[in-house]
Amino acid sequence: MAHAAAFHDGLSPIAPTPSTDWPLTPMVRFPLPTDRNARILAFVSLANAAGRGAFITASTLYFTRIVGLSLTELGTGLTAAAVCGLLSGVPFGYLADWRGPRETAAILLALAAAASVWLLVVDSFWPFLVCACLISLFQGGGSAARQAALAQVVQGAEAVATRAYLRSIGNVGIGIGTGVAGVALAVDTRVAYLCVMGFNALCLALCPLIILRLPRSLTDTSGNGGRRPALPPLDVVRDAPYAIVTLINVVMMVHFQITEIALPLWLARHTKAPPSMVAALVLFNTIAVVLFQVRVSRGISNVAEAVRSWRRSGVTLLLACLVFAVSSVGSAVTTAIVLVVAVAIHVYGEMVQSAAAALLSYDLAPADKHGQYQGFFNTGMSFAQMIAPAILIPLIVTWGACGWMVLGVIFLITGLAMAPAVQWALRRQGASTAAIREAKA
């Protein structure tokens, strides 16, 4: 959806294993990273996601009913903001590599918070357009800098694990923000909507304060005792294998929009299930990610395991699409059962793919250039959000069950395509023959 893409958080899709648990209930224990710096980044993700969840839920009504924008103006502004966010990752990630991710992230998130305060007083299209573009620009850049900080804090399988926590706790934050906005929607007054915009700004303002608790050593990426080197080369734009890996991820990540775009249209046009079931299925997906993302991701500790997991996600998503196609047949009760099964299979494939993508995005990037490389990889995530409607709507609405089958085959091919792309990337890195052989297996 346009507004979601406009203010996308690049830490959203993501994976294994700390030993410290934080009990939520006697039956459910939610693990947090044992590393202090990883926990700091987790709380940044929580605050950022809470503000974003509130904003996404209330923004359409706020800008159309309170600010007075037309739907065309709203769509134009959010699309422009999405483009700004799409283009911000690489240059700001490059800056983070050079100047240090800690301070770069803090400054960009502080600027995003200041621009969000401006949303409280915008009253026409042009101020809204400038404000939305600035917020998306600073948030996209801040996300790339946070990815670079994460790469310095943890490496390898531990980085995959930490990103799993960030994704899980990010979903918790989205739920908190959605609940806050839900209260405002129920009250339905100008003051209530302004409180939601204020809540978003407050959450963003907390992010730089939290991220500055990271050690100052993250500021120096030069390895020269604080002396800044010359500007590093912008290698990511010339790294063809990494670009192919990112492109394959873009195609696969279309599946993230199934529950938001394809499922509501499918239920309404091709099944006997009540449209209200969409909310229950989306909630099921969210809770599953919160509870099981880390557990599903265990065991993905190297590139070879990530490639095998990626292949498994392609097969799993194919199966989910086939089950979605079957849901058009039968009574309302039968359809509901089949849809629950399909969503369960889909969310498993989603979690496996997220974990595999996390490890590949880090391990295939040079250790001293994670800002520009993660910024580039996250640009692919944002691009996937933008192209998803153009792919899903014609397939699911026009082609129906056949469209689901075509979509499933696309996921299968994408799942199989990653292995040769990773082998190419490893050869470019000068990896050992054994590592390349394992990636192929």
Q: For residue 120, what is the DSSP state?
A: T
Number of neighbouring beta carbons within 10 Å of residue 23: 9
CATH architecture type of domain 237-440: Up-down Bundle (1.20)
The DSSP secondary structure of 322-345, one letter per residue, reads: HHHHHTTSS-HHHHHHHHHHHHHH
Q: For residue 21, what is the DSSP state?
A: E
- pLDDT computed for residue 111 by the predictor: 96
Decide if 2-230 and 237-440 have a common fold. Answer: yes
- pLDDT computed for residue 210 by the predictor: 93
What is the phi/psi pair of residue 153, to 5°?
Answer: -75, -45
Q: Which of 13, 367, 315 is nearest to 163 (CA)?
A: 13
- pLDDT computed for residue 21 by the predictor: 36
Task: Measure the CA–CA gap between 100 and 213, rounded to whole angstroms.
Answer: 14
For the domain bounded by 2-230, which CATH number is listed? 1.20.1250.20
Extents of the domains making up the chain: 2-230, 237-440
- pLDDT computed for residue 228 by the predictor: 53
Instruction: List pLDDT tens digits, range 64-85.
Output: 889 998 888 988 888 888 888 8
Task: Measure the CA–CA gap between 428 and 235, rounded to whole angstroms.
Answer: 12
Which residues does the chain have with pLDDT short of 70?
1-33, 155-157, 159, 218-233, 431-441
Contact between residue 381 and residue 10 where contact means Cβ atoms under 8 Å apart? yes
CA dihedral 219, 221, 225, 226 (to 10 degrees): -50
- pLDDT computed for residue 3 by the predictor: 42
- pLDDT computed for residue 268 by the predictor: 83
- pLDDT computed for residue 4 by the predictor: 40
Q: Which of 93, 10, 38 is nearest to 214 (CA)?
A: 38
- pLDDT computed for residue 10 by the predictor: 46
- Run of H or E residues at 31: strand 29-31
Instruction: Pull the structure tokens for residue 15.
Output: 């994976």
Task: Measure the CA–CA gap between 143 and 149, rounded to whole angstroms.
Answer: 10
Angle 412-17-434 from CA coordinates, rounded to 5°: 55
Residue count of the chain, please give it. Answer: 441
